[in-house]
Amino acid sequence: MAFELDPRLAGSSIELGRLGRSRVLLKNNAHFIWLILVPETAVTELHELPAEQFDEVCYLTRQLSIWVKDAFHVDKINVAAIGNIVNQLHIHIVGRNRGDVAWPGTVWACNEKRPFSDAELLDLQTRFTLAFNSTRSS
């Protein structure tokens, strides 16, 4: 059975590319650099992944966190795998700055939304591709 991205994730984000056996999405809210790592698996909990894939997901979470921190000069990185609304396993990696529209609260409770412009998306896609030598999935 082919992997299918949950429609709620697909509808609120832009796919930046693939890293290993995971998709990397960008939440379409320009107030934050908010990545979502989606392992291509049917399991719904991080601890249910086979050991090798678990290690890969942890490594990718670390690499994406480092990239967001260094490339976008954020003050804080928030990482979460909650999955109460979207059951598909996914990990949020969110760059936060003191004084951003949601600070110090959570990004989930923030009602401020601003989609990325085409130019911003092109810049982010290019930066991601250069940093990770990634290709987009179709």
**pLDDT digit string, tens, across residues 22-59:** 999 999 999 999 999 999 999 999 999 999 999 999 99
What's the rounded Cα separation, in Å, for the pair 102 and 122?
25
DSSP single-letter state for residue 19: E
* pLDDT attached to residue 138: 45
pLDDT given at position 134: 60
- What domains appear along the chain, each with residue ranges and CATH number? 7-132 (3.30.428.10)
Mean pLDDT of the chain: 94
The answer to whether residue 136 scores a pLDDT higher than 60 is: no
Please name the residue that has the structure tokens 């249910």.
Answer: 48
Looking at residues 114-134, what average pLDDT do you find? 94
Dihedral, 14, 15, 16, 18 alpha carbons, nearest 10? 170
> Sorting pLDDT into bands at 50, 70 and 90, what band is 2?
confident
- SS3 string of 84-95? CCCCCCCEEEEE
Q: What is the dihedral of CA 69, 70, 72, 77, to 10 degrees?
A: 0
Q: Would you state the torsion angle of the CA atoms of residues 17, 79, 84, 49, taken in this order, to the nearest 10 degrees? A: 70
pLDDT of residue 133: 85
Nearest-CA neighbor of 71 among 17, 112, 25, 126?
126
Calculate the CA 85 to chain-centre distance: 16
pLDDT digits (tens, 9 = 90+) for 95-115: 999 999 999 999 999 999 999
